[in-house]
Amino acid sequence: MAKRSKKSSDAQAELRGYVVVAFADDIDQAKNYESLLRASDIPVEVAEQADQMGNSEIAVMVPDEFLDEAHVIIESQDAYDDFYDLALDDEDEDDFDSDIFDDDF
């Protein structure tokens, strides 16, 4: 019989009751989600785990009872980021047809 490591069983016990609220693209995004949730007084853990294909994923996890609130916070932040990314992209475009506003009369 294979002996399990005490460290891995302690980590699993610590995360019991936690569910994945989001998978982060990278560790920076995971830390951003973590600080955002902690600022809202939501317990959060970030864990790297292997998926079924053997690829590594970064899971942001919260206790089950905080799942809905955490979803709202993360989705709001993502929408906020998308809005400003779009606004900055529009600012950077110099190809806007500014001739429309020129008076040729």
Domain 15-93 coded CATH 3.30.70: yes
Cα of first residue to Cα of last residue in the chain, in angstroms, is: 90
Q: In this predicted structure, what is the pLDDT of residue 88?
A: 63
Q: In this predicted structure, what is the pLDDT of residue 4?
A: 43
Paired with 63 in beta bridges are 18
Torsion, Cα 69 72 73 75, to 10 degrees, reads 150
Find where tokens 């047809």 sit.
97
Residue 58 in tokens: 């970064």
In the chain, where are the structural domains located? 15-93
Q: In this predicted structure, what is the pLDDT of residue 69?
A: 95
Residuewise pLDDT in 10s, the chain (105 residues): 444 444 444 555 567 889 999 999 889 999 999 999 999 999 999 998 777 777 788 999 999 999 999 999 998 876 656 555 666 665 555 555 555 566 655
Residue 36 CB burial class (10 angstroms; 0-12, 13-18, ≥19): middle
